[in-house]
Amino acid sequence: MTPKKELHTQLVFRSLTTKDIDAIIQIDQQIIRRERSPLFKEQLFEQIEKHGEESFGALTPEGKLVGYVIAETKVYIYGDDDLSAWIILLGVDPEFQDKGIGTALAKHVINYFTKKKIKVIRTVTAWNWGDLVEFFSSVGFKLSTYLTLEFKIGKTS
């Protein structure tokens, strides 16, 4: 068995494929502690089919998927035509958290997009998800100049 303390130094990274979806869903459910809608699986399938080469899995030397980062490149933001990368979803199996896997995944995806000459990587998180905000801050993400707005259908205020 791989020593857990040094696991992040032994990880194998590869692009995600649709064969990874069930493992991703299993990790996601452990993180959020509930099942997602069936639409989540459909969206994962579409995302990986379209952007799988930009999304990565972290595997133990034995081949167990213990973390993932799903990303894509986009051109569209109001008034901005530069190609940017977006991290859509990132997760680490709770059994393997606090072992450097998330940081290793973030560094891997940052290196990947740096080689692709992408100048900005963005992601979105809720303000009250302090652990996630702290994580992204720890790997170099800063508060963006963009503001996220939402409209809740059926609510007047």
**Model confidence over 89-124: pLDDT tens digits?**
999 999 999 999 999 999 999 999 999 999 999 999
pLDDT for res 4: 47
Indicate whether 157 belongs to any domain. no
Burial 103-118 (b: 16+ CB within 10 A, else e): ebbbebbbebbeeeeb
Indicate whether 143 belongs to any domain. no
Whether the CB-CB separation of 43 and 5 falls below 8 Å is answered with: no
Indicate whether 102 belongs to any domain. yes
Indicate whether 147 belongs to any domain. no
Indicate whether 155 belongs to any domain. no
The 10s digit of each residue's pLDDT in 24-67 is: 999 999 999 999 999 999 999 999 999 999 999 999 999 999 99
Please compute the mean of the pLDDT values over residues 82-89 and round it to a whole number: 94
Indicate whether 114 belongs to any domain. yes
Indicate whether 31 belongs to any domain. yes
| Structural domain count, the chain | 1
Q: Which amino acid is at 101?
A: I
More confident residue, 2 or 98: 98
- What letter would DSSP give residue 77? B
Range of the domain at 42: 4-138
pLDDT for res 142: 96
Long-range contacts of residues 123-129, Cβ cutoff 8 Å, at least 24 apart: 123/86, 123/87, 123/88, 123/90, 124/148
Global pTM reads 0.89
**Can you give the CATH number for the domain in which 71 is found?**
3.40.630.30
